[in-house]
Amino acid sequence: MTKSELIEAIARQQAHLAHRDVELAVKCILEQMSQSLAGGERIEVRGFGSFSLHYRPPRMGRNPKTGEPVALAGKYVPHFKPGRELRERVDKRYQESLKNV
């Protein structure tokens, strides 16, 4: 499912809203999520999951072309931990499909 398919799916269920509003809303939600993480703030959505930052310490890397060592600074990377409802729903359907083989 892509972003535009997600917008379509939401719009089908919110027929009273203009398609354009749904599109703007999805972009607004994603922008808020990105901004939050960019500012070091966690995201917590019960039943879906939480996003936080994990620190990666500085290390020595290599230029893959020349093989020359380069110092890489420490950095933060986004991390997602699925919430219980998401975990259970995703796995439940999978277990059912295993049984039906």
Partner 1 sequence: MSLTKAKMAEALFDELGLNKREAKGLVELFFEEIRGALENGQQVKLSGFGNFDLREKNSRPGRNPKTGEEILVSARRVVTFRPGQKLKARVETYAGSE
Binding site for partner 1 (CB under 8 A): 1-3, 6, 9-10, 13-14, 17, 21-22, 24-26, 28-30, 32-34, 36-51, 53, 55, 75-80, 82, 85-87, 89-95, 97-98
CB of 34 to partner 1, least distance (A): 6
Closer CB to partner 1, residue 40 or residue 64? Answer: 40
β-bridge partners, 54 = 77
Strand 49-56 and strand 75-82: the pairing is: antiparallel
Contact 69, 60 (CB under 8 A): yes
CB of 63 to partner 1, least distance (A): 19
Helices 3-13 and 19-38, packing angle to 10 deg: 130
Type and span of the H or E element at 52: strand 49-56
CB of 65 to partner 1, least distance (A): 20
Closer CB to partner 1, residue 69 or residue 76? Answer: 76
Distance of alpha carbon 37 from alpha carbon 44, whole angstroms: 11
Closer CB to partner 1, residue 69 or residue 90? Answer: 90
